[in-house]
Amino acid sequence: MHMPAIYPDLKERSVFVTGGGSGIGAALTEAFVKQGANVAFVDIAETESRALADRMEIEHGRRPLFVPCDIRDVAALQAAVAEAGRIFGDISVLLNNAANDQRHTVESVTPDYWDDRMAINQRPMFFTAQAVLPMMQRLGQGSIVNFGSISWKLGNGGMPAYTTAKAAVHGLTRGLARDFGIHGIRVNTILPGWVMTERQKALWLTAEAEKEMLAGQCLKIHIQPTAIADMALFLASDASVACTAQEFTVDAGWS
Ligand SMILES: NC(=O)c1ccc[n+]([C@@H]2O[C@H](COP(=O)([O-])OP(=O)(O)OC[C@H]3O[C@@H](n4cnc5c(N)ncnc54)[C@H](O)[C@@H]3O)[C@@H](O)[C@H]2O)c1
């Protein structure tokens, strides 16, 4: 049974998660709810997100705030951040988790498709950070976690726009860490390995791909979303008070 650490400083913290309704994001929402934090999340998957909020209330007695939002709409995303701040107080933890790893061939990519991939996988991270900055400045502290991927480190093909966006996360994290650090705000990147979400299992987990994964990983395990949430809890809490501008890889030793 998974027994996460308890970080007392996360209790009653105001936390904002992008894509918090399913996959790793749902594990993030649940992990922070279980710490006693006030979690707000945006997602486009409305049915799953409402079901998650209901389940959190029943199982943990704490209902996260779900704001339906397509993160490609920067104004709507920043409005969601503002709404979360009004309801739960200034946001002190921002988890830039939402992404879409849709496969695409080189030949099929148009300028519009390329821009759309960046609008999902890269651009929102900057504009959520911009929106929480005044809140974190008022608090005198904050933690921002941007979600990268080991896919580009492994040299994976079949999704060049996604791997480009995910590599760019490192530059964003390090640049913002410098600008935000003077306000006591930390910015880090988590690089998940291959995490066994329902979506990954349904779309990509063939016997052959599983064999390749287990051969590549030092640890012969199937990484669960909770393993990523555990790292996010650490990076959000004061336990990582001196960690910023860094990449934290949770991939069972694959990359
Ligand atoms: N699962 C993995 O194996 C894996 C591996 C490496 C990196 N990652 C990274 O971890 C993070 C989470 O991955 P995941 O597998 O849970 O992803 P996912 O695709 O399963 O879920 C992402 C969430 O974001 C939401 N979302 C997608 N597009 C959106 C949009 N336009 N507006 C609002 N919400 C939107 C989805 O509905 C979903 O709830 C991503 O940044 C991903 O790149 C995941």
Domain residues for the domain of 145 are 8-250
Identify which of 38, 31, 39 has the alpha carbon closest to the alpha carbon of residue 3.
31
71: CA distance to ligand 1 center in Å?
Answer: 12
Domain count, the chain: 1
Say if 73 falls within a structural domain. Answer: yes
Confidence (pTM): 0.98
Q: Which residue is catalytic, options 16, 162, 180, 194?
A: 162
Q: pLDDT digit of tens for each residue in the chain (255 aa)?
A: 889 999 999 999 999 999 999 999 999 999 999 999 999 999 999 999 999 999 999 999 999 999 999 999 999 999 999 999 999 999 999 999 999 999 999 999 999 999 999 999 999 999 999 999 999 999 999 999 999 999 999 999 999 999 999 999 999 999 999 999 999 999 999 999 999 999 999 999 999 999 999 999 999 999 999 999 999 999 999 999 999 999 999 999 999
CA 97 to CA 125: how far, in whole Å?
A: 9
pLDDT of residue 2: 87
Say if 223 falls within a structural domain. Answer: yes
Say if 2 falls within a structural domain. Answer: no
pLDDT of residue 36: 98
- 220's CB contacts (< 8 A; 6+ apart) are 214
pLDDT of residue 72: 98
- DSSP string covering 201-236: HHHT--HHHHHHHHHH-SS---B-HHHHHHHHHHHH
Say if 183 falls within a structural domain. Answer: yes
20: CA distance to ligand 1 center in Å?
Answer: 9
- Count of CB atoms within 10 A of residue 128's CB? 27
Q: Is the CB of 30 under 6 A from ligand 1?
A: no
31: CA distance to ligand 1 center in Å?
Answer: 16
Residue reference for tokens 């990484």 = 223
Say if 3 falls within a structural domain. Answer: no
Say if 198 falls within a structural domain. Answer: yes
Say if 82 falls within a structural domain. Answer: yes
Query: How many helices (H) and strands (E) are present in the chain, helices listed first?
Result: 9, 7
Say if 1 falls within a structural domain. Answer: no
Annotation marks residue 113 as catalytic: no
Domain containing residue 113: CATH number: 3.40.50.720
